[in-house]
Amino acid sequence: MKIGKHSVVSMHYTLKNQEGTVLDSSQGREPLVYLHGVGGLIPGLEFQLNDKIAGDKIKAVVEPKDAYGEISKDMLYEVPKSGFQGDEEIFEGMQVQLDTEHGPRLAVVSKIDGDKVTLDMNHPLAGVTLYFDVEIMNVREAEKEEISHGHVHGHGGHHH
């Protein structure tokens, strides 16, 4: 059957950036299983999987606007270096955890200029064009219960 709304799709994928660096892959693991059409995947990838069938191998290029968004200057924050506690030396490229009103968030130290530290809270894949190699392993119709829950049952021992 073709992939459409409320198909349960299992697939292997490898995700690379423009330079060909592997960012993520299901190889050597169980295939990724997801419920199609409910926003379980990034929109640009889900769109390109419509109407595909088991056995199809797809190369999908997804622009940032259809993936994790563009890099936003609004997500850069300048803070004083003295605001960092502890003895740990901070350096550019370092990941730090911040306590925000939305709970703990990861940020990257993008620049240190004297006492001014710029923190970047963009998603690590913001601004990145994604290159997927996808192999569709299986397509089935979702059970009623899976549709009402909005996710797939019977994998990884998850049920509720």
Provide the binding-site residues for Zn ion, judged by CB under 5 A.
149, 160
Q: Residue 16 or 149: which CB sits closer to Zn ion?
A: 149
Shortest Å, Cβ 153 to Zn ion: 6
Shortest Å, Cβ 11 to Zn ion: 20
Output phi, psi for 48, to 5 deg: -80, -10
Task: Report whether 128 contacts 17 (CB < 8 A).
Answer: yes
Residue number closest to Zn ion, CB atom: 149
Q: How many C-beta atoms lie closer than 10 Å to residue 21's C-beta?
A: 9
Shortest Å, Cβ 41 to Zn ion: 18
Q: Residue 123 or 149: which CB sits closer to Zn ion?
A: 149
SS3 at position 98: strand
Q: Residue 73 or 144: which CB sits closer to Zn ion?
A: 144
Task: Report whether 49 contacts 3 (CB < 8 A).
Answer: yes
